[in-house]
Amino acid sequence: MPEKLYKLPAAFYEHIGKMSFQEIAETVATAFFGEDVKEDDLKKIVDDTLSFDCPTVKVEDNIYSLELFHGPTLAFKDVGARFMARLLQYFIKQENKGTVNVLVATSGDTGSAVANGFLGVEGIHVYVLYPKGKVSKIQECQFTTLGQNITAVEVDGVFDDCQALVKSAFMDSDLQKAMTLTSANSINVARFLPQAFYYFNAYARMQEIGKADNLVICVPSGNFGNITAGLFAQQMGLPVKRFIAANNANDIFYKYLQTGKYEPKPSIQTLANAMDVGDPSNFARVYDMYDKDWETVKAHVSGATYSDDDIRATIKQCYDDNKYILDPHGACGYKALKDLLQEGETGVFCETAHPAKFKDTVDAILGTPVEIPERLQAFMKGTKQSVPMSKEFADFKQFLLSERSSAN
């Protein structure tokens, strides 16, 4: 969690509707990193990160979709990944560190976002470890076809084996001596902050059309990183009335709101699989932010939980009524607003992935094929390149060491 709370002045919020996404993000980023990163450089990092838009799109009266899927891999994690890559590059240059090697274990989406965020970034090499045969075809294309400074490592095992290899690598003294290693998950603030940018922008765009009063923001949540950034923006003074965390059938947070007890469980597989989390890693942050007090948490965030049947019915209903195609994650967000929005409020939900990323599911529900955006088609045409790997650490270690000698 960032150490300080950076309140932005009231005047900023009064006029925010006249500012562009880039200008807003520069202001917020300066509040955070102004002391550590030179102004011009920070501006460059921000502008490069936000080379794609996060628009608010009207779905129906009083309900808007904040589309976070216009980045390279069509899911919201792109925004944070790019910013992290650029910021890391900046610090590497400052410290003259030579090549830094980023290791990331993925069950699908994190790997593609991190790989695309770091693609072509000088001074950084990324190794994406993924379980063979256990990620979707589209996801696999998004990190195995890139080349350049991205190496995909196909592990003969499950996700936990990939994670274990990464952890062992960080603890291995020979590797530490031979190369600079870092994890894509360890630089929390850098990944987390850009997720706050788009909440500021959402508020601004709603102010621009005179709809910012009594604004409710609903976030489809799994690990609760995304919503934590929104709650943090609110703490920085962003005038959002309240938040809703929409869950799929993994209802640990929802139950907590009902009972005051946090009881993690093994995750259940659902149609909204990026939210299949049984012990949300950012719950502790939310809890801390509100002084570990149940009543305070409830005053800021309400919850909702939906089954796969609800998700299917919602995708169908929203398309029939509004001709707007939701993905299974966004469907939870939209449905929660429909169920919980009160008189006089305007709702914005995060649409966290493009429906084409879940094409089989969405096509089956709507009975018509979702169009695949060109960016996604381009990935699918690329040639898969990956390094086959056993799940034994000795093999992985030897591979990393041989990479180093071939690079030198």
Ligand X SMILES: *Cc1c(COP(=O)(O)O)cnc(C)c1O
Return residues touching ligand X (CB under 6 A): 75, 77, 109, 220-226, 274-275, 329, 352-353
Task: Choose between 349 and 396: whose C-beta lies nearer to ligand X.
Answer: 349
Task: Choose between 16 and 231: whose C-beta lies nearer to ligand X.
Answer: 231
- In this structure, are residues 352 and 330 in contact, taking their beta carbons and an 8 Å threshold? yes
Angle at 210 between CA 208 and CA 212, to 5 degrees: 90
| Gyration radius of the chain's alpha carbons | 21
- Measured from the CB of residue 76, what is the shortest distance to ligand X in angstroms? 6
- Measured from the CB of residue 288, what is the shortest distance to ligand X in angstroms? 17
Closest by CA position to 221, among listed 195, 193, 187:
195
Distances (CA, A) of 393 to 132, 167, 184, 256: 16, 10, 20, 39
Task: Choose between 79 and 353: whose C-beta lies nearer to ligand X.
Answer: 353
- Measured from the CB of residue 352, what is the shortest distance to ligand X in angstroms? 3
Q: Measured in Å, how far apart are the chain's first and last C-alpha atoms?
A: 37
- In this structure, are residues 253 and 224 in contact, taking their beta carbons and an 8 Å threshold? yes
| Alpha-carbon torsion angle 346, 351, 352, 355, nearest 10 | 170
* Spatial separation of the C-alpha atoms in residues 175 and 127, rounded to whole Å: 14
CA atoms within 13 Å, Cβ hemisphere of 258: 9
Pairing of strands 150-155, 387-389: parallel
Residue 188 has a CB neighbour count (10 Å cut-off) of 15
Output the 3-class SS for 233-289: HHHCCCCCCEEEEEECCCCHHHHHHHHCCCCCCCCCCCCCHHHCCCCCCCHHHHHHH
Task: Choose between 157 and 225: whose C-beta lies nearer to ligand X.
Answer: 225
Task: Choose between 132 and 329: whose C-beta lies nearer to ligand X.
Answer: 329
Task: Choose between 49 and 250: whose C-beta lies nearer to ligand X.
Answer: 250
Task: Choose between 13 and 200: whose C-beta lies nearer to ligand X.
Answer: 200
Task: Choose between 86 and 357: whose C-beta lies nearer to ligand X.
Answer: 357
Angle at 88 between CA 12 and CA 150, to 5 degrees: 125
Task: Choose between 54 and 92: whose C-beta lies nearer to ligand X.
Answer: 54
DSSP type of residue 75:
B
* Spatial separation of the C-alpha atoms in residues 5 and 233, rounded to whole Å: 10
- Measured from the CB of residue 273, what is the shortest distance to ligand X in angstroms? 9
- Measured from the CB of residue 349, what is the shortest distance to ligand X in angstroms? 11
Pairing of strands 56-60, 63-67: antiparallel
* Spatial separation of the C-alpha atoms in residues 136 and 56, rounded to whole Å: 29
- Measured from the CB of residue 80, what is the shortest distance to ligand X in angstroms? 9
Task: Choose between 149 and 226: whose C-beta lies nearer to ligand X.
Answer: 226
- Measured from the CB of residue 173, what is the shortest distance to ligand X in angstroms? 33
- Measured from the CB of residue 245, what is the shortest distance to ligand X in angstroms? 8
Task: Choose between 117 and 222: whose C-beta lies nearer to ligand X.
Answer: 222
- In this structure, are residues 252 and 264 in contact, taking their beta carbons and an 8 Å threshold? yes
- Measured from the CB of residue 310, what is the shortest distance to ligand X in angstroms? 16
